[in-house]
Amino acid sequence: MGQDQDQCSEIFSLSYKNLPTQLKPCFLYFGLFPEDHEIKAFELINLWVAEGFVKSSGTREVEDVGEDFLNHLIARNLIQVVRRRFDGRIRTCRVHDILHDLCIRASEEINFFKNHDNVTTGNSATRVRRITAQKSGLIEYISSNSQHVNLRTVLYFNDKYEWVKISRELRLLRVLRLDKIKLSRPNDIGNFCHLTYLQLRDVHPGKLPSTICNLKSLLTLDVQTGLGLDIPIGIWKMRQLRHLILSVFINGKVQQIDVSLPYLQSLHLVTLFGSCDVEGLRWNNLTSLRKLAIKADRAWAKLELSPLNLLRCENLHKLSLGVYMKNFPDLDDLFPNLAKLSLKFTELVQNPLETLKKLPKLKILKLGKQSYKARQIICSGGPDNFPQLEVLKIHDLILLEELIVEEGAMPRLKKLSIFECDRLTGIPERFRNITTAG
């Protein structure tokens, strides 16, 4: 067994040495994550971009180039695909234990990164550019150790809460990812002017410092916590942001603001709460937006998506809404590139299919829990109605009794998934061979 493992290690080592130069740091980056960790491709690629490993090419966005890099590593059998998206793209991935060890060994040879448990004092510590840890104590260590002023990247996968004070001496930080932290001096984050990537998980206290808005190089801001969080208004004016993920209980009412995020690719506002009101956000300048997710505590949040708010989102590829809406806006010409639409807790009272059927590139439609409150769904006939739809999922519509899809509509449908629709009496005959029911 040991001999076989040694042979595998030698083969993988050779594969790594034969990688194109631009792919080597991307592969080694997997070693910064814990062993057997399932990594989101979206997160990984954004980290690569923040590190400067990936550059845009011609008219192609830098994220698309990063996705190519990931696919190249997968094609060389260095990376395992764990889950794929609806369109076949990578959702999550990981590396085998042997390859994880290879990443660590190869990184030590070129001083690419260090694990906190293995970092020693001395000249080697002063050369450390990236550091990772899965145990508590990392922040205290690097904050009290002047030898680490050259750090560019800190990835901290902490498993228990601790108070941290990030040293102001770490002025060269580009990437900061922290789990389960309590910031004793949150305003200090604004001093790290080179930050391009900031991810905070389960952060305390419940307020993002306004100094975050001073980070003029920040490309990705990802904040996820189960507690109430006050969001500084200046975030909506951080023009350089490409990815904004606020998966939090957001407090407060948003006043009338023209959102100025012209380079933003993805926007996730998840679990709005309390007196939060996002109707004041005018999104008519999100010209680059590809992904938009807005999800809320349905007992509180009310949202009206008017055509004026979404008129400039013509590049939108994926839209996920989990907010009370009652009526869906007229989508004619608004979303010419929309490929995936997910609805949940929207409580629509008008048949959504009549509004959505003209979307020219829609491939997946999910009607989830309490997205529609009526006994009948009808899609009128003709090949121009849902011309590209391949997957239709209808889940947890407790009032639905009848699904009617007239002849010719949904000509490309490959999968019809129906769950928890107890009153539904039947499905169209021509869809019986592609239906999953439960």
Task: Cite the DSSP H helix spans in 38-85.
Answer: 41-51, 62-75
Task: Cite the DSSP H helix spans in 293-332.
Answer: 307-310
Q: Which of 100, 132, 150 is the last residue of a domain?
A: 100
The residue with greater pLDDT, 158 or 91, is 91
The mean per-residue pLDDT over the stretch 78-86 comes to 93
Predicted confidence at residue 261, as pLDDT, reads: 86
**Given the DSSP bridges, would you call strands 90-94 and 80-84 parallel, antiparallel or unpaired?**
antiparallel
The structure tokens 């899809």 sit at: 405
CB 315 within 8 A of CB 288: yes
The mean per-residue pLDDT over the stretch 369-393 comes to 91
Domain assignment present for residue 340? The answer is yes
Q: How confident is the model at residue 264 (pLDDT cuts 50, 70, 90)?
A: very high
Reply yes or no on whether the pLDDT at 92 is more than 60: yes
Domain assignment present for residue 348? The answer is yes
Q: Which residues, 6 or more positions from 49, have their beta carbon under 8 angstroms from its beta carbon?
A: 62, 63, 66, 196, 219, 220, 242
The three-state secondary structure class of 98 is helix
Report how far residue 213's alpha carbon sits from residue 71's, in angstroms, rounded to the nearest whole number.
Answer: 34
Reply yes or no on whether the pLDDT at 250 is more than 70: no
Domain assignment present for residue 425? The answer is yes
The mean per-residue pLDDT over the stretch 82-100 comes to 93
Give the pair of three-digit tokens for residue 436: 């999953």
Q: What is the mean pLDDT of the chain?
A: 84
The mean per-residue pLDDT over the stretch 254-274 comes to 75
Quote the pTM value.
0.89
Domain assignment present for residue 91? The answer is yes
Domain assignment present for residue 407? The answer is yes
CATH code of residue 39:
1.10.10
Q: What are phi and psi of 123, to 5 degrees?
A: -65, -35
The mean per-residue pLDDT over the stretch 220-242 comes to 84
Domain assignment present for residue 168? The answer is no
Q: Which residues, 6 or more positions from 76, have their beta carbon under 8 angstroms from its beta carbon?
A: 15, 19
Task: Summarize pLDDT for 118-134 with one digit per residue, the tens.
Answer: 655 554 556 788 999 88
Number of domains in the chain: 2
pLDDT cut 90: percent of the chain above it: 45
Lowest mean pLDDT among 11-15, 106-110, 310-314, 336-340: 310-314
Q: Which of 79, 100, 121 is the last residue of a domain?
A: 100
Q: What angle do CA 222, 223, 225 make, to 5 degrees?
A: 150
**Measured CA distances, 343 to 283, 318, 322, 374 (Å):** 20, 11, 6, 15
Q: Which of 42, 77, 100 is the last residue of a domain?
A: 100
Which residues are paired to 96 by β-bridges? none
CB 323 within 8 A of CB 345: yes
Residues of the domain holding 412: 325-438
pLDDT winner (highest mean) among 83-92, 179-188, 197-206: 83-92
Predicted confidence at residue 275, as pLDDT, reads: 47
Other beta carbons less than 10 A from residue 37's beta carbon: 14
Secondary structure element (H or E) that encloses residue 246, with its range: strand 243-251
Domain assignment present for residue 283? The answer is no
Q: How confident is the model at residue 438 (pLDDT cuts 50, 70, 90)?
A: low
Q: How confident is the model at residue 262 (pLDDT cuts 50, 70, 90)?
A: confident
Domain assignment present for residue 90? The answer is yes
The residue with greater pLDDT, 421 or 168, is 421
Reply yes or no on whether the pLDDT at 16 is more than 70: yes
Residue environment code for 336-357, b if the CB has 16+ CB neighbours within 10 A, otherwise e: eebbbbbbbbbbbeebbbebbb
